[in-house]
Amino acid sequence: MAFTLTDEFKQRAEKICARYPRRDAALIPLLLELQREAGYVAEEAMDALSGYLGLPYSRVKAVVTFYTMFNRVPAGKYHLQVCRNISCHMAGAPGLLAALRARLGIEEGETTKDGLFTLSAVECLGACGDAPVLQVNEDYFGRVTAEKLDVLLEDLKHGKYPSTR
């Protein structure tokens, strides 16, 4: 499938590139922009971005496959990523994952039928001091309890994106 970077994207991309000493340093922010537009980063989008930045496709793909924040297939409006590493595991991450599976009726890697939620278990999010940590799209929610999770899910279902503070 042909994929073209839109003029709007290119305008935003130029502003982002201008913040960095080298254009290739803008790779991750630009991938996030692409993901915001489409909900995921398709192979064709990686290809288009590699041409735009003058980078090898393999480098773009390596970044997208390394970071779990990038979706390579269409994801729900809210991508719920539960950290499963040791600090979060000991602070209750398995219970959070189980609660999310039960509440949403999906397993990890799946998306709810209404397209609202995708669930993933991911490696350390680098916020171990706030374990257990849940990432929703690009935002972190720390010290998540069952009660906080209920409130968060209800807010998201009703289109209210909660503050991370």
Task: Note the residues at the interface with ligand FES (CB under 6 A).
Answer: 83, 85-88, 124-128, 131, 133
Question: How far is CA 128 from each of CA 33, 66, 90, rounded to the nearest angstrom?
Answer: 27, 19, 11
Nearest distance, CB of residue 59 and ligand FES, angstroms: 26
Comparison of 55 and 127: residue with beta carbon closer to ligand FES: 127
Nearest distance, CB of residue 87 and ligand FES, angstroms: 4
CA distance 140 to 120: 14
Comparison of 110 and 130: residue with beta carbon closer to ligand FES: 130
Comparison of 114 and 139: residue with beta carbon closer to ligand FES: 139
CA distance 4 to 38: 12
Residue 102 CA from chain centroid, whole number: 21
Nearest distance, CB of residue 97 and ligand FES, angstroms: 12
Nearest distance, CB of residue 120 and ligand FES, angstroms: 13
CA distance 163 to 64: 27
Q: How far apart are the first and last CA of the chain?
A: 41
